[in-house]
Structure formats: structure tokens, C-alpha cells
A and B are shown apart, each in its own frame.
Chain A
Amino acid sequence: MFSVHQLSVRARIVLTILIGICSLPTANAQTRTVQERPNIWNPQISTGIVFLGGYSTADEHDHEGAHGLESGFQLQEIELRVESNVDPFFRGIVSLAGHMHEGVMEVGFEEAFLSTIAIPDLTLRAGKFLLNFGKSNLRHTHARHYLSAPMPTTALTGADHLLGIGVSLDYLMPLPFYTELNLQAVRPGWETGHSEDSDGHAHGGGGDPLDLTYVTHLKTLFDLGDTTTLELGGSYMANQDDHGHLQSVWGVDMTMKWVPLQRARYETIDWTTEYISSHRHGVQGDGLYTSIRRQTAQQWWMQLRGGVLGLTRETDTRRYRGETLLAFAPSERSAVRLQYALETQAHSDTTADEHHDLVHEVFLQFIVSMGTHPAHAY
């Protein structure tokens, strides 16, 4: 990761590549009658912008509330994604992403990996990818159900997005219902989302590059009739901290989804609940959130999420966050979302007199995606 201020030459190169690649799909569309089409071998290209604007009453100097959204305008994400089958055996994906963090645009390769496509039941990945921990981490910023990741997840794992460099193996188990077992081993440290420092080293890992971080994820899904599915998941992530002690985070999640067959385009309901427990050097504690999303018409969604940090085992302080969101998606390629959030923020300046302040946030977000048809995850 680097900032535009510090390394404008690199930023300019990245920008030139970005503009160059972005102009290709249009050229492709206009040369339909031209016999020679050297660009038919180009990989699939998609790009997206997530713009955010709003106001938060959080005290900017108080880093206790750092998981909330920052007041003002920001580009939450600019992503350029290129993917293609490499040959009959591999598929490759490279994504370049820019995120704004404390007013500075950070640009870097978010994902870059190859995965096998010729092995039945198994997929092996190598490169840089999102860690398969919990229910929400595999969603990119533009695909998140709310404007930010669930508060307990971010607080307990210590990162906005968990990313790692290493290998991943997932296995679709030979059972009559969907059961996927995923094992991942990545370089030390998992806080490689936004908190990765400029050298590419992650925080929280041991000094030895062989002290890997391991992630295990089991996901099952059952059809309860034609319209309803029940998904159960469990994940565990562990590594060694700077002092060689084992630190781990585990979580369980449950999602029920209702999609009426004939009206799948007009109404859906899903309900997700996730519990996470952290046993890390810095953060001990647990948290839970639950979210209901109701699609009320082809283009409209109404959502509600509530989370608590320090449910049974106290972290530093117990914290609550509630969010309500209204989304209008004119097409599957664009969306406008309005979110109001209420969060309790702890002040522990004087240890004897700890009190909570309420933080209000109102934000409006615009999402667009261009290029190859977006794949819809279930």
C-alpha cells in the first residue's frame, strides 16, 4: 500500500494502466463488424466505484470509535478487476483497488491469485486473496450488505477486510447437501486489510515468516423446500503473536433465506446472525450481530442490523451499534443506499468515571459497476 502524496509516480502509472484498460470494452463493442479482433483474447474486465458522503457525530480524536464511518465525502472503493481462464488447468484473477483511509487514497493489489479448474470437487488457490473467516469477509466493499462491515467482526478480528498471501484449498464434500470445507494458510498476521503498512508487512504476526496464519471454514446449506434455505457456518483462525503465544478467533453463523419461486425478482427476506469470539493478544472478548434484509420490490431493499461487542466476555468496554438502511437499485449494476447508524462510544479518560456517548451517523452511498456482468453470490 502507498499513498498518492508519497508516491505520485507509481500512482500515475497505475492510473495510466487503469484508463487504458477501461477503454477496451467500448472498443470491443464498436468493432463488431471488423474481422480482426485481437482483443477477443483479453481477460474479462470489470470495474466499480463506491462513493460515500455523510456526517458522523463521532469525536475524530477519539480512536475508540475508529470503526465508524468518517464525515465528509470519500471514495470507499475503486476497483479494477481482471479475470480469465489461463489455460485448461488454471483461472487467474487480479484486482487493483483503491480505498480511502483517513483522507488518503491507498491503492494496491487487493487480490491476485490463480485457482485450479480441472480438479473435480477441489479448488486449490495460490496468491493473495480474502480470508474465508466468518460470514462477511468474502464480500468486497461494493457487495457488502451495509455501508461497513459488521462492527463486532471488525473489532474482534482487528481489520476491515482480512487478506492474506498464501494457499487455500476448498473441498465440496460428497454429501447430498452442500458442505464446503476450506483450509487456508497465509503469511503471518491477518490484519492485512487497511492496516497493512507500506512495506507490505502485516501487524500482529510473529517475526518468523513461517509462523503462518491458518483459517478453517466449514459451510453447509440445506434446502427447506423450494423457497427457503438454511445456511450454517463455522470458522476458526489462528496464528502466533509477537511473543510466540497462540492467538485465535472463532465464529459461528446462521443464515435463513426466503426467495419465493415465482416472485424471486420482487421479494426476498434473509436473516443472518453471527457470533464471534476473540482470543488475541490485544483483544479478548466476543460479539454478536443479527441482520434482517427485506426486498420489498424489484428495486427496493429495507434492512436492519444490530450488534453488540462484549456480549458475555467483556472487551475493554461493551459497545452497541444499530444500523438501518434503505437501498434503491435502479438496475443490477447500480445502487443508491441511505444508512443511519447509532453507536455507543466509550470514553475512558478517567478510569473511575467511564461513560458512553451516543454517536449518530447518516450516510448516502452510490455504487456502480461496469464491464463484465457481475456474478451474483447467493
Chain B
Amino acid sequence: MKHIGSTFLFLALILWGSSTANAKLNVVTTTNDLADLVRQIGGPHVKAQSITKPRQDPHYVKAKPSLMVKLRRADLLVSIGLDLETGWLPSLIRGSRNPKIRPGEPGYLKVGGFIKAIGIPTAVDHSHGHVHAHGNPHFWLDPVRIQKLLSTVTKRLMKLDPAHAAEFKARAAALSEKLDAKIQEWTQKMAPYKGTPLVSYHDTFNYFYDRFGLVGVGTLEIKPGVPPSPKHLSRAIQMVKGNDVKVLLHEIYHDERPSKFVAKRTGAKIVFLPTSVGGVREASDYIAFMDVLINNIIASLEPAKE
């Protein structure tokens, strides 16, 4: 009797597993920012989930087999590209045994190829650390580039679910309009801080600096992905002092000690920042996330301005 029970349970699990395919378009994204955009454009016709958690470093995700299960039934995989996910996504795609989301298929969308990248290295060599040969991948911190990407994401959703094409288009247009107003607001808010020198741990904020006229003086990391040595930290102290940097930007998932070390010896203030939607509770969607970023940076610069 017990035997029959366990057999039944096993069959039920199999049925549950295979019945996940339903009417909604199953979209998996690599980051929470992409998941939010897909959700906002797709509305009720799309189920979007992110592989990385909001407070996780998207460069260093472990290719857990359970993530392959998440990708197995995906209709569309949306990734940042520009080599951000190169250390883990290829093995997840292969491990998922899902031919729909293979590179080149309609179910695979790498948005990095649709934006104008900055920080494209003049020489590609591994002696320069974890270089991104096609440019800096952190473009989602620039709301203008994100706004331009809306049509790319929308077109792909329309292709995979033509029945709801008109709805996707309308939702994208509404979001774009909202972003228009917010970009204007953010630009005005940041205007008084044009030319402010800043230092971050990793080169995460380069697109953000460019958009709002801030000046990125350097990073605490020696080279992308290579943690600072004591020698480099003493050079970083000179860099912070020499450029009159008052604020250090620190991504929440990086080791705090180097930033604290430099802050202590220079009097600069550290501002801890999420780099993704959901990184802090208030950053519930893309616009809210940018609000958090901008408000935090302004708050840290405010007293320094005096």
C-alpha cells in the first residue's frame, strides 16, 4: 500500500512538472531590471522571473542546476550581454536542454547588442583583468538607454506572442512616456552636481556618470574583478585626495573593507548603493530604483557641497 502511495506521488510530481506550460509567455531574465521591464511591457500575458536575486552580483552567479530547471520551460531568455553573464549563462543554457533559448533563436534576446556601449577597450588582453571586450555592461544605470531598449524588448514579445501585440505596444508607449517625464526630473535634480568627482569600487556607474555629467575618477579595484592590494589602496587614497573626491560609491555586494579603509584615511563618505531593481525595498520597479539611486547620491553630496 505504501508502495502504491509513493508511486502515485512520483507520478503526480511528474504531471505537476510537465503542466507548467500554460497560456502565459514564460520569460526568464538574467537581472531584475530586465524582469521588471518585461513585466511592465508584458502585463498579465507574461510571467517574468530573474535568475539573479536583487542583491546579488550579476558577474558572479553560481550556475546552480536548479537554475537550469527554471530555464527548461522558458519561452524567452533576456540577458544583458556585453560579457556580463559569460561566466555562468552558457552552462545554464546548455544544462537546461531547452532548444528555444539557444543563442540565435527567437527565444534568446541579448539586449547589450542594441545599445551604444562605452568603455570598449582599445586592447583586449587578459592581463587587464576581467575585461569586457564589447564595452562596459552596466548600461541599465542609464535611463535613456533603457528607454531606447523598450522597443527592442517589445518587438521580441510581439514576435513570440502576436495575439497580444497591440497591448504590448501600448504598455511600452505608456512606460516610455513615464520615463520621459522622470528623465527630465532626474536631469534637473542632478544638474547642480555636474562635474562632481566620484570614485566607486567597480566600474559600475560609468553610464550613470555620463548621463548626469558626473566625473568618474577611478575605481578601488586594480582592474575589473581584481581586488585592491594594499599598494593599490594607498594609490587610491592619493587619487581620492588629489581629485578632491568627497564621496565613494559602493555596490552593496562588494567587500566593504577597501572602501572603509580609503574613507577613513581621506574623510570621504561612503554611499552604499543597490545596482538593481529590488536591491532595497523601496526600489520596487525601474523608476523607483533610479529614484533611490539618485536620491541617495544627492543626499551624500548635499553636505559636501557646502
Contact = CB atoms under 8 A, between A and B. Distances in A.
Interface string B94-105: 111111101000
A211 B154 CA distance: 56
Given A223-B66, A229-B64, A373-B87, A122 B255 contact: no
Interface in A170-184: 172-178, 180
A246 interface: no
Contacts of A332: 87, 130, 225
B187 interface: no
Given A123-B97, A178-B68, A331-B130, A375 B91 contact: yes
A375 to B, nearest CB: 5
Contacts of B218: none
Contacts of B91: 375-377
B117 interface: no
Interface string A201-233: 000000000000000000101110010010100
Residue among B18, B99, B252 with the highest chain A CB neighbour number at 10 A: B99
A64 interface: no
A373 to B, nearest CB: 5
B63 interface: yes
Contacts of A172: 68-69, 72, 95-97
Contact of B99 (A120, A178, A330, A373): A120
Contacts of A378: 62-65
Contacts of A373: 83, 86-87
Given A176-B16, A177-B66, A376-B91, A262 B252 contact: yes
A121 B63 CA distance: 18
Nearest to B55: A262
B61 A375 contact: no
Nearest to B16: A176
A81 to B, nearest CB: 14
Interface string B1-45: 000000000000110111000000000000000000000000000
Contact of B253 (A121, A229, A262, A331): A262
A259 interface: yes
Contacts of A331: 126, 129-130, 225-226
A173 B15 CA distance: 11
Contacts of A14: none
A165 B16 CA distance: 37
Interface in A249-301: 259, 261-266, 298-299
Interface residues of B, number: 47
B17 A261 contact: no
Task: Give the dominant DSSP class at B's interface.
Answer: loop
B124 A29 contact: yes
A15 interface: no
A275 to B, nearest CB: 22
A29 B120 CA distance: 13
Given A375-B90, A376-B87, A265 B65 contact: no
Interface residues of A toward B: which range? 35 or more
B114 interface: no
A119 interface: yes
A361 B124 CA distance: 40
Interface in A330-378: 330-333, 370, 373, 375-378
B102 to A, nearest CB: 7
A122 B95 CA distance: 10
Contacts of B96: 172
Contacts of A229: 64, 66
A180 B59 CA distance: 27
B17 A175 contact: yes
Contacts of B126: 331, 333, 370
A117 interface: yes
B53 A226 contact: yes
B56 interface: yes
B83 to A, nearest CB: 8
A259 B60 CA distance: 11
B185 interface: no
Given A172-B72, A176-B13, A264-B62, A298 B255 contact: yes
A178 B97 contact: no
B128 to A, nearest CB: 11
A121 B14 contact: no
A18 interface: no
A29 B88 CA distance: 23
A106 to B, nearest CB: 29
A118 B63 CA distance: 21
Residue among B66, B97, B252 with the highest chain A CB neighbour number at 10 A: B97
B57 interface: yes
Given A117-B102, A331-B129, A180 B57 contact: no
Contact of A221 (B56, B66, B102): B66
A176 B69 contact: yes
B303 to A, nearest CB: 28
B56 A121 contact: no
A222 B96 CA distance: 16
A333 B125 CA distance: 13
20 contacts: A172-B72, A172-B95, A172-B96, A173-B14, A174-B14, A175-B13, A175-B14, A176-B16, A178-B65, A221-B64, A222-B66, A259-B62, A264-B57, A332-B87, A332-B225, A370-B126, A375-B87, A375-B91, A376-B62, A376-B87
Interface of B: 13-14, 16-18, 53, 55-57, 59-66, 68-69, 72, 83, 86-88, 90-91, 94-100, 102, 123-126, 129-130, 225-227, 252-255
Given A264-B253, A375-B90, 15 more contacts: A29-B125, A119-B97, A120-B97, A172-B69, A173-B14, A175-B14, A175-B17, A178-B66, A180-B65, A221-B64, A261-B56, A265-B60, A331-B129, A375-B63, A378-B64
Minimum-distance CB pairs A-B, first 10 = A174-B17, A178-B65, A265-B60, A375-B91, A174-B18, A221-B65, A262-B253, A29-B124, A223-B66, A118-B99
